[in-house]
Structure 1
Amino acid sequence: MASILDRKAIVAPKHFNRWFIPAAALAIHLCIGQVYAFSVFKIPLMSRFDVGEVSVGWIFSVAIAMLGLSAAFGGTWVEKSGPRKSMVVAGTAWVLGFFVAALGIATGQLWLVYFGYGFIGGIGLGIGYIAPVSTLMKWFPDRPGLATGLAIMGFGGGALIASPMSNALMVLFGGGTETENLASGLVPTFVVLALSYAVIIAAGAYVIRLPHPEWKPDGWDPSKVEATPMQTNLNVSANKALKTPQFWFLWIILFTNVTAGIGILENAAPMIQDYFPGVTAAAAAGFVGILSLANMGGRFIWSTASDYIGRKNIYLLYLGVGALLYLVIAFFGGSSLALFIVSAMLLLSFYGGGFSTIPAYLRDMFGYYQVGAIHGRILTAWAAAGIAGPLIVNSVVESQSAAGNQGPELYTLSMYIMVGLLVLGLIANVLMRPVAKKYTVEYAEQQQEVTTDAYSK
């Protein structure tokens, strides 16, 4: 069993069709992307455990926090072990997390839901998220933005499938559309989702391959590729990357963009019902699905566009226009359902685009060497945002509700906070410059040669 999971067992022949690899990546990302449909479970879980917004919101926050931490600490292991073994480990943790969470719901133990879906499932999220990304960039060296968009598109689209399916399963097993019915259908829904994801992830792990050492895309000559001012042909190790200001600017950029996106996504279903009381639970689930479509589309469209206009320029769009859209929702969102939905969709497309573009931005700054490990470490920003985003919005909602406010007034303050965060990210992006050569592997090797020559003389 170990041999068929190892790197050497999955090296593709020279003429392997590289378009099978995006399908394998989509298999796992569509499954773990279910986390973005978590807001569908929010009201039923609040009813099942008789708790408030913050208590249930922490389940999502723990999952995202563990995603970032497991990606950071597991990034080097993923690079060493290869994508197949990583996908199997990730799938096992993700599925096991659902089963443990189902046990917690059935027994009325909320801490088991935290531990299952949040802690164990979050480990599966982190390993599963980064497992195919560096592999896809190796298969698409000619189009790194397209590659990362293909890899991460599925994560954004997971909720597009999971949101309506989860709602339908809760209705089926619970015997109705009322909140108490949906709460009754939670346990079998979690079990069905777990079994489905186990099969799909196993299929993706079977298909995944690494490129042959002598393979390269038809018609692509790496020697003729010219680096742009914000793109290097040199390489930086994961440890050295942490010492560069560029890594921390990118950390701030990712943190602010993700916090702003999660602020809407994690609360999407209850938010639209608070803004527009006539919206039903089924329609709210549909809204989550629409946002997932925008999230998924943004991951492919914007990251592909970054191959042409540059990563720095595309983040000016994500952060600058994103701040303006949050102001639109704060001032006018409650007056028009169409305006609210369009603004939220654009924000989620920028959110998704930010995720899919960050690996290519890292490749531009630090080269291909250990880019997977660097990607894993920068996802600690996602872990922090996974806590900050829901905590900001849920805390504001609870405090505003206690003050007697309702409807859009519950969220206005949190919208202004998100604007401030996006402006901070915008400043960090403006300050981005190429990484100094002293941090590169090539510079270190050159210095070693100089030292060796001097010693020999």
Structure 2
Amino acid sequence: MKNRWLIALSAIAIHLSIGGAYAYSVYKLPLVETMGWTATQVTVAFTIMMALAGTSAAFFGKFVEKNGPRKSAMVAAILFGAGQAGSGLAVMMDSVTLYWLTYGLLSGLGMGIGYISPVSTLIKWFPDRRGLATGMAVLGFGAGALITAPVAANLMQTVGISSTYYILGAGYFILMFLGASYITPPPANYMPEGMKQAIDTGKKEVKKDLRQLTAKEAVKTKHFWMLWAMKLINTSAGIMMISVASPMAQEVVGLSVAGAAALVGIMGIFNGGGRLGWAAASDYLGRQNVFIVFFVIQIVAFLLLPITTNVLIFQALILLVVSCYGGGFSNLPAFAGDLFGTKEVGAIHGYLLTTWSLGGVFGPILVNAIKGSTGSYVPVFYTFFGLITVAFIISIWLKMDIKKFQMKQQVVNEQPVGKTSRKTS
């Protein structure tokens, strides 16, 4: 029997590595100045990677379920490591196309597979703390950029851009491979000793999943699409805020350039902290209730942002929205497990992560289109207030429908066997 906390540490090692991709901004200026590539050409690689991260998570979800977390994470390590190290070769050869294929294509595929590989396994190892378990892994993803950014910046000054990619690519591969080597699913019907004792003494009740479905069956349910819609809106709002927080704060409340830069750094902390904090809270409040709280917070935030003149309050509202964005990622796989069971939760989680790619495109495009046509960020706040209100209504509807489904199940379970068999015949 393996130690489940070391399994969690292995998952964090994988997510820390692929999360390093979020430090991409540190490469932009050096590539433009040193290589003579345009800012657009450099940005395309990151766009390809982020688009592929969500879609590859969906396409390879079945692969992860079929081959297990260890093989899948090793494939992710090879793809992501090769993508990062290959970027160094592209820089050395002065080939933008090769850079798009390595940093964009290979790293994007590795990121998507590496993201979902350990999460479904953690859910099975932590039946008593699903939220905390997924929160730890996804926190690692958020923290990856905080570690990579200063390391990459220092390496580029010391050894150059190509060698930086070689070193980081090798480092990511080793860390991911070591994590993958230890990860394995728990025995069937695994339950930690503390949970067993709590159930035996009556201190704890076993919270059963709503049902056990395959990925193919799950996508045919309205609960899947309700959760998908909620996650898409939550992701779009969060990425929108991340993409324009600095100029928005400077324009709306007159925040200084230095203050806006500090805000962006603090947003990274709230993004990562929200992933762990909200996930841990969901083990006590319930996943459906946490999503309702997300939307209540954001409704209030988007209502207050256009009328707020105080710099500190304005920043606090932005940070709350960003924490809900991070919390949505950590609560998603646990919520999927609650609704559809753990049979193919990796594949289901992968399908739900298409919202990651779509939200990454939809949020920034919407804010730029509104700002471009109106010349103000104020209509943006009201637009997202409307979208978040829709998500809030869906979250209430989902909660009521889950309760209705549970009551129907209870009636069926309480029905006498003889009576059931006569009805069936």
- Bin for the TM-score computed over the shorter chain: 0.7 to 0.9
Which of 186, 189, 202 is residue 211 of structure 1 equivalent to?
186
1:157-215 CA deviation, whole Å, 9 max, x = no partner? 21222233334444555xxxxxxxxxxx5444433322221221122122223323474
Which 4+ runs in 1 deviate beyond 6 A? 222-225, 269-275, 452-455
Who is 1:377 aligned against? 351
Distance 1:44 1:422 in 2: 38
Q: Specify whether residues 138 and 320 from structure 1 end up closer, same or farther in structure 2 by C-alpha distance, changes over 3 A only.
A: same
Residue of structure 2 equivalent to 1:449: none
Q: When you count helix as a share of all residues, which structure comes out higher?
A: 2
Q: Could you tell me whether the CA contact under 8 Å between 1:261 and 1:351 is conserved in 2?
A: yes
Q: Indicate conservation of the 8 Å contact 1:57/1:390, yes or no.
A: no
Q: 1:389 to 1:39 in 2, by over 3 A?
A: farther
Q: Which of 220, 242, 258 pairs up with 2:219?
A: 242
Aligned length: 406
Corresponding position of 2:290 = 314
1:290 is aligned to 2:291: no
**CA apart distance, 1:249:** 0.7
1:265–1:98 CA distance, 2 compared to 1 (3 A): farther
Say if 1:365 and 1:227 are closer, same or farther in 2 by CA, change over 3 A: farther
Q: CA deviation at 1:413?
A: 4.8
Counterpart of 1:260 (choices 229, 237, 246) is 237
Kindly indicate whether residue 70 of structure 2 is the aligned counterpart of residue 93 of structure 1: no
CA distance in 1: counterparts of 2:300 and 2:104, whole angstroms: 32
Residue of structure 1 aligned with 2:300, choices 298, 302, 324: 324
- 1:343 aligned onto 2:317: yes
Question: Helix, strand or coil: the match of 1:142?
Answer: coil
Cα distance change, pair 236–414 in 1 and its aligned pair in 2 (3 A): same
Instruction: Please tell me the root mean square deviation across aligned C-alpha atoms, in Å.
Output: 3.6
Distance 1:122 1:29, change over 3 A: same
Question: How many percent of aligned residue pairs carry the same amino acid?
Answer: 38
* Deviation of 1:288 (Å): 4.4
Answer whether contact 1:39 1:266 (CA < 8 A) is retained.
no
Distance 1:265 1:383, change over 3 A: same
Q: Distance in 2 between matches of 1:247 and 1:156?
A: 25
Unmatched 5+ residue regions in structure 1?
1-12, 174-184, 444-451
Q: Are positions 1:117 and 2:83 aligned together?
A: no
Matched position secondary structure for 1:369: coil
Local SS of the residue matching 1:235: coil
| Contact map agreement 2:68 2:184 (CA 8 A) in 1 | no
Q: Distance in 2 between matches of 1:237 and 1:172?
A: 51
Match of 2:120 in 1: 134
Q: Kindly state the Cα deviation for residue 248 of structure 1 after the two structures are TM-superposed.
A: 0.4
Letter paired with 1:238: A
CA distance 1:348–1:57, change in 2 (3 Å): farther
Q: Which residue of 2 aligns with 1:49?
A: 37
Contact 1:160 / 1:288 at 8 angstroms: preserved in 2? no
- The 8 Å contact of residues 36 and 266 in structure 1, kept in 2 or not, is answered as no
Separation of aligned partners in 2, 1:130 and 1:251: 16
Aligned residue number for residue 386 of structure 1: 360
Deviations 1:24-77 (A, max 9, x none): 01001111112333344455556653345xx65544333222112111121121
- Decide whether the 8 Å contact of 2:85 with 2:170 is kept in 1: no
In the TM superposition, residue 388 of structure 1 has moved relative to its aligned partner by: 1.7
Question: 2:415 aligns to what?
Answer: none
Instruction: Give the unaligned 5+ runs of structure 2.
Output: 413-420
User: Which residue number in structure 2 is paired with residue 7 of structure 1?
Assistant: none
The residue type equivalent to 2:213 in the other structure is V
**1:368 deviation in Å?**
1.9
**CA deviation after TM superposition for structure 1 residue 422, in Å:** 2.2
CA contact (8 A) 2:84 2:165 kept: yes
Q: Tell whether the 8 Å contact from 1:66 to 1:123 is kept in structure 2 after alignment.
A: yes
CA distance in 2, matches of 1:370, 1:226: 24
In structure 2, distance between residues paired with 1:417 and 1:43: 33
**Which shows bigger deviation, 156-165 or 345-354?**
156-165
The question of 1:299 aligning with 2:275 is answered yes
